[in-house]
Structure 1
Amino acid sequence: MSSIAPHSTAAAPQVGTAPARRGWRIKPQHVPYLLVSPFLVLFLVFGVFPLAFSFYLAFQTWEPTAGLSSMKFVGLDNFAFAIKDEWFLKSLLNTAWLAVASGVPQHVIAIPLAYFIHTSFKRTRNAVIGAYFLPYITSTVAIAMMFGTLFSTDYGMINIALHALSQVPGLGWLISGVPIDWLNRAENVKPAVAIVVFWRYIGFNTVLYLAALQTIPKDIYEAATMDGARRLQQFFYITLPSLKPMIYFGVTLSVVGGLQLFEEPFILTGGRGGTDQAGMTTAMYMYRTAFEFNDFGLASALSWLFFVVVALLTWLTNRAFKPRDSSH
């Protein structure tokens, strides 16, 4: 009887097989940079590069339809022309007028309005605030188009309401000249735009001040009430001083936002600034210079000059709200 040889337990080596490869690994110290890299790339492409290219264009004359090869260095000529440009100076005055006319009433009304909502509404406070905040989150284009209809000379609801008020005995002398041609007369364009901007941002500032009011301790008001302070006295001596940091924040936002007005006047005036350019803001003029007049070099110079103006006014706002040293 033939015996069967036992199988060998040693595995036979396989010919032609490659050794296992180790996967590509990132060193732990490089992981944070990899995670931040998408933001850095987007910031460099859409943030740093446009700023640098705009600064470079400010010293060039360039018509984009002719290609990059048509650029020509002109030094400070664009800045010299911008300083003497009557349209640019008028746009600065228009922008300043609109910023003041729409920004100051926002805070003058938003502070007492927020105080009234804070002290008078409890359960329905969120609903009231939501109603005031709704215009801020609504599309600017939709708001401007809606007000364009409301400002209609013949069929606008604003003129109809003013006409009805003018028929009330004793108010006829106060309301005259109805119907008012809001968007076609130079003296009425800026007030119309200011009304739209005020209506849109009053709710935003009210929410800001209401949030600040909720941080004021109630014990202060209770102590003031026990000392005999009336509500009006509490408002001026407790509420307003406590709101100063938020007022500074809100005013700064209004200054910067007011100087950057574009959508509301652009839509209401058909992109042209209205009669006698009464509603043309600086942002509109820069847009027209670049995309309508095809002068990107001058538009870049205007933008950098306007940047200096915005920075200066922001600095002045900071100085105005800076705490004064009581020792001097």
Structure 2
Amino acid sequence: MSAPAPLRSRVSAWDRKYSPYLYISPFFILFAVVGLFPLVYTGWVAMHDWDLIMGQGEFIGLENFVQVLGQSAFWVSLRNTLSIFVLSTGPQVVLAIIIAYMLDTHLRARTFWRMGVLLPYVVTPVAVALIFSNLFSQRFGLVNSVLEAIGLGSIGWQSDVLPSHLAIASMVNFRWTGYNALIFLAAMQAIPRDLYEQAELDGAGKVRQFLSVTVPMLRPTIIFVVITSTIGGLQIFDEPRMYDQYGRGGTDGQWRTMTLYLYELGWTRSDFGTASAVAVLLFLLIVAIGIINFTITRRIADGEAGRAARPSLLKRLLRRGSP
């Protein structure tokens, strides 16, 4: 016997109203378990005198944050993290755009080349770090051997601050340039081809088309790649950890990043409270950069919308007979 019509209509209404929330609930449940809870728990640990062996101690409020901000090691690790990020993100984005533009042309075996640029991303970070640590070794490294052969002398790739940052940034660029190039390639293929035809009719060459058509149309994608590279750069761990055999970020912390500093506090010194405070500060730094990225993206979108609306507004004024 079929259900009454009012009950059937009520069940149908509930299905339309609540089923969408049921479909998307697995994501929010998973995010709450593996994302939100660890974040809140880290903040809780950061406000306690927490030890690896003794566990939770007394509530001390913001003392861990004050202690971390008062240590020069924290500011050195922050400097190293931002320096490696700057040295890697800028060249990485530029090279990725150029490679994507080359892949977007009529190349033979385009699929082969597109798969080839992704191969460094497949290599594990540990393997990349081991290879580059040997390349930039101060005594027997290939880079210093080449520099000495051409008369430039050796460089302290593991003893000096800036050379060590350049070496680690080269690892990051090696792994992520091809990956970002494919993202830019997907964005380039979405650019209308008639824009290039119009630019060519106006006498613009390939370089001019690239600078005046391709790059402006890639601005949202560039912002996306920059912010993802920023987040990855702030969380860099494997490359500086495996850069030498000790994994401490150098004898004087030349390339100790914030994640390495956090690892040292948590597992070497067994001080989970200050380690959690560093993790919270790192999270706030990432959020701040995310807000900056959102603001820049919104301004660019508003500017493009305003430019798109001006011609239609001008046409309406001309129809009304306005001067």
TM range (shorter): 0.7 to 0.9
1:83 aligns to 2:69 (yes or no): yes
Comparing 227-236 and 258-267, the one that deviates more: 227-236
Distance 1:236 1:31 in 2: 48
How far did residue 142 of structure 1 move?
0.9
> Secondary structure at the residue paired with 1:148?
helix
Task: Tell me what 2:178 maps to.
Answer: 203
Q: Structure 1 residue aligned with 2:247, among 248, 265, 271?
A: 271
Unaligned runs of 5+ in 1: 1-27, 167-171
**Change in 2 beyond 3 A, CA 1:140/1:227:** same
- Partner SS for 2:285: helix
Residue 316 and residue 35 in structure 1: after superposition, are their counterparts in 2 closer, same or farther (change >3 A)? closer
Q: What RMSD, in angstroms, separates the aligned Cα atoms of the two structures?
A: 2.5
What residue is the counterpart of 1:295 in the other structure?
Answer: 271
The C-alpha deviation readout for 1:65-98, integer Å capped at 9, x for no partner, is 1244xx1111111111122111111111110000
Q: 2:200 corresponds to which letter in structure 1?
A: T
Classify 1:59/1:102 alpha carbon distance in 2 versus 1 (closer, same or farther; 3 Å). same
Asked if 2 retains the 8 angstrom alpha-carbon contact of 1:63 and 1:295, the reply is yes
1:232 to 2:220 alignment = no
Matching residue within 96, 99, 102 for 2:82:
96
Specify the SS of the correspondent of 2:118: helix
1:46 is matched with: 34
Name the structure 2 match of 1:177.
153
Length-normalised TM-score, structure 1: 0.80
Tell me by how many angstroms 1:275 deviates: 3.0
Q: Which moved more, 1:215-224 or 1:182-191?
A: 182-191
Q: How does 1:142-161 map to 2 (within 5 A)?
A: 142-161=127-146
Call closer, same or farther: CA 1:33–1:105 in 2, change over 3 Å: closer
Mapped pair 1:214 → 2:189 = yes
Report the structure number with the largest CA radius of gyration: 1
Q: Give the letter aligned to residue 293 of structure 2.
A: T
Q: Would you say the 8 A contact 2:137–2:157 is kept in 1?
A: yes
Cα distance change on mapping 1:243 and 1:151 into 2, 3 Å: same
Q: Tell me the equivalent position of 1:72.
A: 58
Q: Given residue 295 of structure 1, which amino acid in structure 2 is its aligned partner?
A: D
Shift of 1:33: 8.5
Q: How many residues are treated as equivalent by the alignment?
A: 288
Q: Which has the higher helix share?
A: 2
Counterparts in 2 of 1:76 and 1:67: CA distance versus 1, 3 Å: closer
User: 1:314 & 1:274 partners in 2: Cα distance?
Assistant: 30
* Distance across 1 between alignment mates of 2:72 and 2:285: 17
Within-5 A mapping of 1:111-190: 111-121=97-107, 123-164=108-149, 166=150, 172=151, 176-178=152-154, 180-190=155-165
Letter in 1 for 2:243: L
**Residue type matched to 1:141 in 2?**
V
> Aligned pair in 2 of structure 1 residues 282, 241: CA closer, same or farther (>3 Å)?
same
CA deviations on 1:151-201 (whole Å, 9 max, x unpaired) are 23343232333344x1xxxxx4xxx223x3422444422111111111111
Paired position in structure 1 for 2:11: none
- Alpha carbons of structure 1 residues 152 and 83: separation in structure 2 relative to 1, 3 Å: closer
Tell whether the 8 Å contact from 1:255 to 1:314 is kept in structure 2 after alignment.
no
- Secondary structure of the residue aligned to 1:237 is helix
Give the Cα separation in 2 of the matches to 1:213 and 1:35.
34
| Paired letter, 2:37 | F
Aligned AA (1:125): R
Separation (CA, whole Å) in 2 of partners of 1:132 and 1:46: 32
Write the letter of the residue equivalent to 1:142: A
Change (3 A) 1:119 1:58: same
2:168 maps to a residue whose letter is V
* Distance change in 2, residues 1:318/1:143 (3 Å): same
